[in-house]
Amino acid sequence: MDPSRISLRPFNCSDVDEFLKWASDDRVTRYLRWNTIASREEALEYIEKVAIPHPWRQSICLDDRSIGYVSIRPESGDCRCRAPVGYAVSAEHWGQGIATIALKIAVSSVFKDFPDLVRLEALVEVENKGSQRVLEKVGFLKEGFLRKYGYCKGEIRDMFIYSFLSSDMFL
Ligand SMILES: CC(C)(COP(=O)(O)OP(=O)(O)OC[C@H]1O[C@@H](n2cnc3c(N)ncnc32)[C@H](O)[C@@H]1OP(=O)(O)O)[C@@H](O)C(=O)NCCC(=O)NCCS
């Protein structure tokens, strides 16, 4: 994949049809905290009420067409130094390096956007090997194994925790 074809930008309502293509796919949402989107109306409501108001939720674009997302939401108060990271890519584009390129772009800009932010965190289900590989290729450090850490799609899951600090270097 030519990295110049990949960009990140905020969502807008005109992304609805492209967004629905990948957000309606159970393979894409399987490990995500949000459920598969079922209709165009639901997709539009999600863009308007969740994606656009979010402090840092970017559309991963291939030639400016939405094919996924990266989301980073800094916590508040004494936890404002850290932010969880989430991302997904349309299944038709898996295995082309797109999530890795997009996450590198995100990491290189988000620390400038949030001056208090020092640490990005990613929680990954043990069986989600592709996502673990993405994090490792970007330079995240695998810090540990969290037993029965949280629910995903109604089931309590074991997870790995990864982090990337503002002082870390890209691989
Ligand atoms: C995880 C996900 C974002 C990866 O996107 P992608 O664009 O295919 O990622 P990349 O192509 O940049 O890298 C994927 C890497 O994982 C590897 N991989 C994929 N499936 C794998 C598996 N089952 N076992 C081992 N490695 C695997 C690929 O070979 C590739 O590594 P390589 O470059 O060394 O060959 C994508 O599969 C996705 O959207 N999944 C559903 C949502 C999700 O899981 N999000 C993350 C939640 S933590």
The verdict on the CB of residue 159 being under 6 Å from ligand 1 is: no
The verdict on the CB of residue 31 being under 6 Å from ligand 1 is: yes
Among the atoms of ligand 1, which is closest to the Cα of residue 101?
Answer: 12
Closest C-alpha residue for ligand 1 atom 23 = 129
The domain defined by 3-118 folds into: Aminopeptidase (3.40.630)
The verdict on the CB of residue 14 being under 6 Å from ligand 1 is: no
pLDDT digits (tens, 9 = 90+) for 30-66: 999 999 999 999 999 999 999 999 999 999 999 999 9
Confidence of residue 170 (pLDDT cuts 50, 70, 90): low
Domain residue extents for the chain: 3-118
Structure tokens at 105: 């772009």
Say how many Å lie between the CA of residue 76 and the centre of ligand 1: 30
Distance CA 158, CA 113 (A): 32
Say how many Å lie between the CA of residue 64 and the centre of ligand 1: 21
CB distance 86 to 93 below 8 Å: no
The SS3 call for residue 156 is strand
pLDDT digits (tens, 9 = 90+) for 97-153: 999 999 999 999 999 999 999 999 999 999 999 999 999 999 999 999 999 999 999
